[in-house]
């Protein structure tokens, strides 16, 4: 049966359906280095397309997220995107770690969704919650 609602990308739909409590996925800019052993769902079409916020908003509608983690560097080096994320998800617990620590966390993520985002430190770790 052809799916006509929700997330139509089959790779993202599968990853989300297999998440357990505290599992993580990362929504990344087009420059984040992703190890070969980590599943990469590459949505990048062109520089800036799709934007990280577009993908984040869609995934957040379909995933129970208990907290997000951002690179500390986003606060000073990408204030616009930082403000967009923290304004839209102001009630979401948010941690900050160094960009180097974020890159190390990739190996523990269930998947990285690569966007076309081309702004500095535009990467976000989503920590799966529970729906009950």
The answer to whether residue 21 is catalytic is yes
Residue 89 burial (CB < 10 Å; 0-12/13-18/19+)?
A: middle
Classify residue 86 as exposed, middle or buried by CB count within 10 Å of its CB (0-12, 13-18, 19+): middle
Catalytic choice (21, 83, 99, 127): 21
List residues with catalytic annotation: 21
């Amino acid at each position: 049966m052809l799916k006509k609602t929700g997330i139509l990308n089959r790779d993202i739909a599968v990853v989300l359906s297999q998440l357990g409590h505290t599992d993580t996925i990362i929504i990344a800019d087009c420059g984040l280095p992703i190890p070969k052993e980590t599943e990469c769902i590459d949505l990048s079409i062109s520089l800036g397309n799709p934007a990280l916020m577009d993908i984040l908003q869609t995934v957040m509608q379909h995933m129970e997220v208990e907290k997000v983690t951002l690179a500390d560097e986003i606060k000073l080096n990408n204030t616009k995107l930082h403000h967009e994320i923290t304004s839209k998800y102001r009630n979401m617990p948010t941690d900050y770690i160094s960009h180097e620590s974020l890159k190390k966390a990739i190996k523990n993520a269930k998947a990285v969704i690569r966007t076309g985002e081309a702004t500095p430190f535009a990467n976000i770790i989503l920590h799966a919650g529970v729906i009950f």
